[in-house]
Amino acid sequence: MVDDRPPTHPGRHGPAPYDAVEVIRAKRDGHALSDGQIDWVVDAYTRGAVAEEQMSALLMAVFLRGMTPEETTRWTDAMIASGGRLDFTDVGRPTVDKHSTGGVGDKITLALAPLVAACGAAVPQLSGRGLGHTGGTLDKLESVPGWRATLTEAEIRHQLRDLGAVVCATTGDLAPSDRKLYALRDVTGTVESIPLIASSIMSKKIAEGTEALVLDVKVGSGAFMRKEEDARALATTMVELGSAAGVRTVAVLSAMDAPLGRTVGNALEVREAVEVLAGGGPSDVVELTLALAEEMVVAAGLAADPARLLANGQAMDVWRAMIRAQGGDPDGPLPQAAERRVVRVPADGVLAGLDAYQVGVASWRLGAGRTRRDDPVSPAAGIELHHQVGDRVRAGAPLLTLHADDPARFSRAEEALRGAVTVVPEAAAEDGRSAHARVLDRIASDD
């Protein structure tokens, strides 16, 4: 005879009020979890009182059954409650942050943080490292000689007061449940769940203590969300979570079918971001940087003009001070790869497509990315783009330059690029210039 009585698991104060199997069954059968069930299971898993296989089953049930908005909000709150919260209300500036869901060639944060700081805001940009085909902001900045990613909370606060911007690694105490849950989702096929993605992102951003948040939700082949309807659903969910937590939150949908800008890779992207701060750079990078800066300035309650502060060099001044404050040399030489190989245009016509995902994978194979979170990356590896979508091209002209420290990496990178390039006759071409960077839509809590 099977004993159906739920076992008890020890909690912080005696027997647990809930049972993991009951919680799994409830979600498996399509029921909404109660606030108490969510609070308990997130806390118990973080403490190790719920087994990995039990949380794996619950995550799969959530993946298949979904969550109500109320469940997602409570799940996010429980993840926040698993650690500490930062408070920057004493830095003397309104705080506003930006988060991107990740793309290929997405170096926007590098110019955006000092630009918005020059507008009068404090930008506590706690960032991460790259994994797979998308790059990480910290990996890019670590190509700057001497720059360090790890700061104490006191150093972060001091830099925000003095300069208005800091880009650094997240502190260990923010939403520690997310680290465990994300690692488990990664190996159980449960990453692509909008409630779980939204709660993962927003638990960290809310715990970070910012007063306002602008989300850059990418759409397309090089983005996590390839369909606009999925990206819109994720953006809406995150805006609702932020607003429920008292954080002024706006989401911008931007296209990511082709790489952003003309470089993919760590040092290569830093160089391009500095070009933007110097008043140049690719038009698509400038366009998106200014669009997000304008959203952040409004969200922070400021009236500055980001375009003017970018043009007059004030954003560059903040960049240089920010790099120095974290031990870096803004005038130091960036790493350069030992080997290069050119990929040429296959035919005359107009470049109608350059698949962002395939370019991202090629850059990863060249050494710019990692497979596991503790893998090293090459600061010099990556890809230069000599043309963007919409350009007229001639057969045999340089299209891409591959950068690597080890020439043995070129063959696998070129393999990843097969079928990535689409050239059409001029008569058949549509105007695709900068289409991959344009803002597709804006979502805010008052829409």
Catalytic residue numbers read 99, 178, 185, 200, 204
What own/partner pairs with CB < 8 Å and gap ≥ 24 does 56-59 have?
56/184, 56/188, 56/190, 57/24, 57/28, 58/20, 58/23, 58/24, 58/27, 59/181, 59/184, 59/185, 59/188, 59/190, 59/193, 59/196
- End-to-end CA, the chain: 57
What are the angstrom distances between the C-alpha of 206 and each of 196, 299, 345?
15, 15, 46
Tell me if 112 sits within 8 A of 289, measured CB to CB.
Answer: yes
Strand, coil or helix: 380: coil
∠ CA 151-181-213, rounded to 5°: 55
Quickly list DSSP for 53-105.
HHHHHHHHHHHHH---HHHHHHHHHHHHHTSB----TTSSS-BEEEEE---SS
CA distance 169 to 287: 27
